[in-house]
Amino acid sequence: MKILIVDNHQLFCDGLKTLLEHEPNTKVIGEANDGRAAVRTAQRLSPDLIIMDVMMPELNGIEATRQIKGILPKVKILALSMHADRHYVGSMLTAGASGYVLKDSAFAELAHAIKMVSQGKRYLSPSIMDMVVDDYVQCLSPGAATQSAPLSELSSREREVLQLIVEG
């Protein structure tokens, strides 16, 4: 399995690459340190799986995921983030990620998530599973709001411009 690592912290990328090289049938074929580089690198290398940080400079992991899935719909994307917030989790899954792992997890959990996602399954860290299920149940409950999220009506470029404004 060809893997692309996307994270803006080089030391983290180096450590993750070292750990992944010891896993059978895995090869890290590239790295990117921001969302724009992730889109370009994914297009150039065509990985099987991308391990994507959520918060990065230039273009965040959510928008990078959305753009990559538009270009390479078969690539699997696994979010790896320190953020357990429902907004980040939901946004990554909506953008096309197949899983979401927290950075404070053990490597064994990440390896398991990679295996699950590569098999076409979904994976969520156990600590965020309850939150996702609660949100799903709330959406199904009688009287739940039927309004769409305001950002869902923006184009990809409009979301990108909004992100750049927020980041100053």
Question: Has residue 35 got a pLDDT over 80?
Answer: yes
Is pLDDT at 38 greater than 70 in this prediction?
Answer: yes
Contact call for residues 69 and 75 (beta carbons, < 8 A): yes
Percent of the chain at pLDDT exceeding 90: 69
pTM, two decimals, is: 0.81
Average pLDDT of every residue of the chain: 88
Residue 167 has a pLDDT of 66
pLDDT (0 to 100) of residue 149? 58
* Alpha-carbon separation of residue 114 from 17, 23, 151, 162 (angstroms): 13, 11, 29, 31
pLDDT exceeds 90 at position 114? yes
- Whether pLDDT at 62 is above 70: yes
pLDDT for res 105: 92
Cα–Cα distance for residue pair 31/118, rounded to 1 Å: 19
Q: Which residue has the tokens 């953020």?
A: 83
Q: Which pLDDT does position 6 carry in this prediction?
A: 98
Q: What is the pLDDT of residue 156?
A: 79
48 pLDDT more than 90: yes
- Tell me what pLDDT residue 139 has: 64
- Cβ–Cβ < 8 Å for 66, 91: no
Quote the pLDDT of residue 8. Answer: 94
